[in-house]
Every structure is written in structure tokens, then in C-alpha cells.
Chains A and B, each alone.
Chain A
């Protein structure tokens, strides 16, 4: 049981390049989330999904797109990377209706945009 995994662990992009971050969970969770973590700002919600085929905007969605084609995967896309998107990205998952509201986090992806 790997829990929540994220690919890649680290990536360097040039301004204007695109990339996709992959999150996978093997806990059969309904909800999945993408956060970014910046120094002194805690974690901020980018987008989230309450089920396969559904997505919704969080607090800071601009410049990002997401897709949840399979229940176990949640993809975060950057179409045209900007230096302001340099951050550590965390994926999380849970199933609130199950009675356990704990969000389980992945190990993070560190992204540097030059």
C-alpha cells in the first residue's frame, strides 16, 4: 500500500514551458486535492476533485488545469510556466463521507521555473 505518490519529485522548467504533475493514490479515495506550498504562506488549495470526472477551483487556480479521468489519478497541468509558479506542490486525498476526514498527503514535487 503505497498511499499517495507524486511524479516527478523535482523538475526545472524554463518560462513558457508546459508540464504535467501526476498524483496517484491506492486507497480508493473519492476526493483528491492539489496544493502549493510557498515559504511563509502555508499550503494553498489550487484545484480539487470530489470524484472521477469532476474538478473544481480552489483558492489559487489561475495558470493551472487539472483532470481526473481515473479515480486513482489526479493530474495538474501548467500550460505556460511562469517564475511565480516556482513552489512545492502537494497532492492529497481522502473520503470524507467514510467518517475519516483525514487528508493523506504525497511527498511533494519541487518545481523551479527559470
Chain B
């Protein structure tokens, strides 16, 4: 089955700096890659996703890049703010329908003032 590795497990940045979280996947059939943000005591919430026919996608301060050849994808957050502090999860779906997502182990991002 699919295996998704995520790094780093914790990340601390100063407000205004950029944060990068990286994931690798093993199944070359995966073609849907969402990123979820989980705030304390809440369920995960989708923040951005990308399909394998696209190399990069951007939404305001958040961007995701995908290198299908190397089987890795990354989340980039620019101009970080305290409210960006949360746990971020990457995921991959080999079916392309998000019916069976495999999640990474999560990155705890702390944005300090």
C-alpha cells in the first residue's frame, strides 16, 4: 500500500518568516495530494490540494509544489502569522478520488512573535 513520510515533525519559525513542510510518497499511482490543518481540539480542515497533472498551486500565502518524478510534494507558507500555529498533515490518494487517503504523521508548526 501507499506510504507517506512527512518532515519535520516540529517546526518553529518567527512571525513573518516562511515555513516549508515536505512529504514523500511511495505509490506512483497516487495522483491527489491534499494538505490539512488541525487546530487544537478540532478535526482536520483542508487548506489546499494538488493533482498530479499540476506542478504548483497557490492560494494567497499558501502554496504546494509537486515533483511527481521524485515522488515528493511540499507545503509553503509565507509571511507566517500566529494563527498559522497548528498541526499540518499531508496525504496521498492512489485512487484519485480521495476515497482512501493515506496521511503523513504530521508537523507541529509554532509561529513565535
> Footprint of B on A, CB under 8 Å?
4, 31, 40-45, 48, 50, 58-59, 90, 92, 94, 96-97, 101-103, 105-108
Contacts and interface: CB of A to CB of B under 8 A. Distances in A.
B54 interface: no
Given A45-B101, A50-B99, A96-B99, A102 B34 contact: yes
B1 A59 contact: yes
Contacts of A108: 41-43
Q: How large is the interface on B (under 10, 10 to 19, 20 to 34, 35 or more residues)?
A: 20 to 34
A44 B4 CA distance: 12
Interface in B36-80: 36, 41-46, 49
Nearest to A97: B97
Q: Is the interface of A mostly helix, strand, loop or mixed?
A: strand
B44 A43 contact: yes
Interface in B73-95: 89, 93
B98 A94 contact: yes
B32 A44 contact: no
Contacts of B34: 101-103
7 contacts: A42-B105, A50-B99, A96-B97, A96-B98, A101-B93, A101-B98, A103-B101
